[in-house]
Amino acid sequence: MARIIGGIGASHSPTIGFAKDTGKHQDPAWKPIFEGFDVIRNWINEKKIDVLFTIYNDHVTSFFFDHYSAFTLGIDDLYVAADEGGGPRAVTPAHGHLGLSQHIAKALVADEFDMSFFQGKAVDHGFLSPLSMLGDEQGPWSGQVVPLQVGVLQFPIPSAKRMWKMGKTLRKAIESYPEDLNVAIMATGGLSHQVHGERAGFLNEEWDAEFLDLLEKQPEKLANMRIAEFAEKGGWEGAEVVMWLIMRGALSDNVKLIHKQNYAPSVTNIATLVFEDLGEAATPDEIEAYRQHLDYELQGAELLKGTYPLTHAVSHANLRINAFLHDLVLPQHRTRFLTDFEALANERGLDDEEKTLIRERKWIEMIRRGVSFFVLEKMAAVLGVPNPQVYASFRGETLEQFLATRKVPITYSVAGGAQAKAMDKAE
């Protein structure tokens, strides 16, 4: 079974990545940062950590305010560096653990957390600054990751208590995963800092020391604080340390402090922290009961004939073709789809099977493979095919046969404007 070995706290200031990329290891002003991360790296290697569940916030890079979620879990197998404005960092992509991420996703939803999920998105310094410090001169850290992005930059944001509760679910989720894995929970961000407004440059090292002490000994006191209190004590952006309560909530009450350091060279008080978890693991009966809880909502759905649930595993395996068809909402993509399909498909990396499925309009085969109906609906609209014709194809019927089973034999499409009128006229 998977087990939580301990928890890590690490600031994620871009300062950290800058120091590494520019070789500041021995510079007196920067050296304490490296020394703190050296301890983390050595502990990870000593404990043979397989997976880092990494809690971070994106800095309006891959997650913009047009769709901003409270909790967004990565369910991908590769996470590349994002371009934050001046070009991406030259760091090795992080490898995701697909099975564990999908299992945790199921657990968080089962325990009534309203989740979003991401694939195919790059990760910025919130994730990469600390992670990139865990490798050595031989290369990057060789383990896998599961990233959780927390939306803490646009209010309202989840409360500290909500973070704490998520940690409790995270513990149950990891312990119920059947693969033997050593897992560490790494919370990033903080400590005290503010980077906007006339309060820019604010630091509070006294509060930072108190926060780290409470996190170890009285975490529930932190969980009962309001976000405004965190902002007042630690700066507006420093309130992101509420994310550390997810990490602490995932640990048992019985933790051993292995390392604690903070260093405030400039705008952010940069901290590193390691807790070793000494608590008892869940019993086999507790694990089995929780697994049954995870499967409760969909139990039996797999028996529905002619039904193909779009699970995270299916979605990941078919992200490329789904993304290609989804982009038919873009006028320029639609035009090339109709006039230059082969070249467009090659540019987007579609394989021969995917191209054949689309080219020959193999509707049911695409559904069985894991293509969402709602991108097929877009494809049909572009081609001038009404929805009922697609339904008929799924059933192995002609359009006329399908319409004969309806109370009103109508045809329709999601196409708009002139396309809709042309399709209606054709019928």
Query: What residue spans define the domains of the chain?
Result: 3-295, 318-426
Architecture of domain 318-426: Orthogonal Bundle (1.10)
Q: Given the residues 97, 103, 125, 312, select the one marked as catalytic.
A: 125
Instruction: For tokens 């973070």, name the residue.
Output: 163
193 is catalytic: yes
125 is catalytic: yes
Q: Compute the distance between CA of residue 399 and CA of residue 385 in angstroms, rounded to an integer.
A: 11
**Distance from the first to the final alpha carbon of the chain:** 59
- SS3 track for 180-243: CCEEEEEEECCCCCCCCCCCCCCCCHHHHHHHHHHHHHCHHHHHCCCHHHHHHHHCCHHHHHHH
Q: Given the residues 12, 97, 103, 193, select the one marked as catalytic.
A: 193
- Whole-prediction pTM: 0.94
- Could you tell me the CA-to-CA distances from 103 to 19, 87, 169, 286, 338 in Å, in that order? 36, 34, 12, 16, 40
Q: Which CATH class is domain 3-295?
A: alpha beta
Compute the chain's Rg from CA coordinates.
25
Note whether 84 and 61 are within 8 A (CB).
Answer: yes
What does the pLDDT profile of the chain (427 residues) look like in tens digits?
A: 899 999 999 999 999 999 999 999 999 999 999 999 999 999 999 999 999 999 999 999 999 999 999 999 999 999 999 999 999 999 999 999 999 999 999 999 999 999 999 999 999 999 999 999 998 877 889 999 999 999 999 999 999 999 999 999 999 999 999 999 999 999 999 999 999 999 999 999 999 999 999 999 999 999 999 999 999 999 999 999 999 999 999 999 999 999 999 999 999 999 999 999 999 989 999 999 999 999 999 888 888 999 999 999 999 999 999 999 999 999 999 999 999 999 999 999 999 999 999 999 999 999 999 999 999 999 999 999 999 999 999 999 999 999 999 999 988 888 888 777 777 765 5
- Could you tell me the CA-to-CA distances from 247 to 39, 147, 216, 227, 233 in Å, in that order? 18, 12, 11, 17, 21
Q: Which two tokens stand for residue 385?
A: 């095919």
Domain 3-295 and domain 318-426, same fold? Reply is no
Note whether 246 and 11 are within 8 A (CB).
Answer: no
